Amino acid sequence: MREDDSGPASDASSPPRRVSRRSFLAASATGAITGLAGCSSLNLTSDETGDSSGSENATVADRPDAVYYPTHVDGMLLSGVRKANGYACALTYTMPHAFWLVTGERATRAGPTADDEIHVMPVVWDAETGQRLTDLNPVLRFRDGGRVLTSDAPWPMLAQQMGFHFGDNVALPGGGTYDVTLRVGAPAARHTGALATPDSATFDFSLAYSPKELDAISYRTLDQAGERGAVEPMDMTAVPSAALPKPDALPGRLLGTGTAGDAAVVATVLDDATRFGGDDSDVYLAVSPRTPYNRYPLPMAGLDARVGGTTHDLRETIDGELGHHYGAAIGGDVEDAPVTVSVDVPPQVSRHEGYETAFLDTPRVTLGE
């Protein structure tokens, strides 16, 4: 048994217990794994500090069913960047936030509670290609000394400035320094090309924050709040870009670009499908739905494509060159046939303000006509 995970209560009035040699050795063997000390937080944004009292949870009264400018944008802080097993991970955080969870075709608002201290926003990417990984569902354990205070599995989430990340509000006892272990398991999507595919990876951080530091995080209200559009991506020097390639920068033969609901949909055909599980005579159809304006991926959707009378399930894939997309190896070619892409299940990714009313329907779009 490991001391740090022993969990169950120990109290002066409980029966005396001796530590056996075996459990002592087990504790010693794993006790050396502790967080890396000496983190310094970096403010990643240059906005002026404003009064954010309570208004970080405001929403626009009359929201379009489309991507729109949120009421405000916040700054964020970086606890550190770690690498393990071919992945890299940045642990960023800010003040607690409202966000929306998506279950099927419903988006429900999750407001912060009085217990929440911070909004954690880990970002995980493939260390070699820089592709942000949307499919890992990390678990964070917060420790104070050796004891696990709490666990949290942040949601896969989309925000206008930050793009794809994992995010959640976390209840902690208060400002201080916490050892945070972040673990990811096997990816849910297919990883292809140069992308790493470890079965798991663990990153150790030391997260130090104070209420004063959180209060000083920049906050800017937006005059365009509620209008269609999106805030520009922030420049995060420590973290690779969240944007997908522009259509003409995608490899392969571009079939076309269309819109499905509020999403931009780009399709390209690669002559070589072998790295996607196809055989020599197959081509590979890659469909890349993305947010308008900022070209962020829309993960965890159910898509199929109808080509020449046959319907193909599109498999969620992250590739070193194509980035996040949905694809299928197809026999023959798609040269003369239009491709009709149907969204069967909307992207189940959680959303920050400005994305929660978009991408909730199940449209279709025909490309290459």
Measured CA to CA, the distance from residue 92 to residue 241 in angstroms comes to 15
In the numeric block, which tokens belong to residue 231? 């805030």
Give the bridge partners for 307, in sequence order: 310, 339
Rule CB under 8 A: choose which of 41, 58, 84, 141 binds other proteins.
141
Chain positions 200 to 259 lying near other proteins, rule: CB under 8 A, are 200, 202
Chain positions 165 to 194 lying near other proteins, rule: CB under 8 A, are 168-169, 171, 183-190
In the numeric block, which tokens belong to residue 273? 């499908």
Contact residues for 51 (Cβ-Cβ < 8 A; gap 6+):
219
Chain positions 314 to 333 lying near other proteins, rule: CB under 8 A, are 315-316
DSSP 8-state assignment for residue 214: H
The long-range contacts involving 27-36, CB below 8 angstroms and separated by at least 24 positions, are 27/1, 27/2, 27/3, 30/2, 30/4, 31/2, 31/3, 31/4, 31/146, 33/204, 34/179, 34/204, 35/143, 35/179, 35/180, 35/181, 35/204, 35/205, 35/206, 36/80, 36/82, 36/204, 36/205, 36/206
Report the phi/psi class of residue 249: left, alpha or beta, with left for phi > 0 and alpha for psi in -120 to 50. alpha
Nearer to other proteins, 181 or 268 (CB): 181
DSSP string of 164-178?
A: EEEEEEEE-SSSEEE
Nearer to other proteins, 110 or 127 (CB): 110
137 binds other proteins per the rule CB under 8 A: yes
Rule CB under 8 A: choose which of 13, 46, 53, 237 binds other proteins.
13
Q: CA angle, corner 230, sides to 228 and 235, nearest 5?
A: 170
115 binds other proteins per the rule CB under 8 A: yes
Please state the closest distance from residue 355 (CB atom) to other proteins, in A.
16
Rule CB under 8 A: choose which of 227, 335, 344, 361 binds other proteins.
344
Please state the closest distance from residue 107 (CB atom) to other proteins, in A.
11
Measured CA to CA, the distance from residue 356 to residue 42 in angstroms comes to 29
Site string for other proteins, 296-315 (x = CB under 8 A): ----xxx----------x-x
Please state the closest distance from residue 9 (CB atom) to other proteins, in A.
5
Rule CB under 8 A: choose which of 65, 153, 224, 238 binds other proteins.
153
Q: How many residues bind other proteins (CB under 8 A)?
A: 71
Please state the closest distance from residue 142 (CB atom) to other proteins, in A.
10
Please state the closest distance from residue 344 (CB atom) to other proteins, in A.
7
Measured in Å, how far apart are the chain's first and last C-alpha atoms? 63
φ/ψ of residue 207, rounded to 5 = -100, 115
Rule CB under 8 A: choose which of 62, 199, 279, 336 binds other proteins.
199
Please state the closest distance from residue 16 (CB atom) to other proteins, in A.
8
Please state the closest distance from residue 183 (CB atom) to other proteins, in A.
5
Rule CB under 8 A: choose which of 255, 348, 355, 357 binds other proteins.
348
368 binds other proteins per the rule CB under 8 A: no
Measured CA to CA, the distance from residue 209 to residue 207 in angstroms comes to 7
Measured CA to CA, the distance from residue 272 to residue 43 in angstroms comes to 44
| Residue 196, number of CB atoms within 10 A of its CB | 18
Helix, strand, coil proportions of the chain in percent (round to 5)? 10, 45, 50
Nearer to other proteins, 153 or 238 (CB): 153
Rule CB under 8 A: choose which of 29, 36, 42, 345 binds other proteins.
345
Chain positions 53 to 82 lying near other proteins, rule: CB under 8 A, are none
Beta strands 263-270 and 323-331, pairing class: unpaired
Please state the closest distance from residue 246 (CB atom) to other proteins, in A.
26
Nearer to other proteins, 267 or 303 (CB): 303
Rule CB under 8 A: choose which of 56, 117, 126, 152 binds other proteins.
152
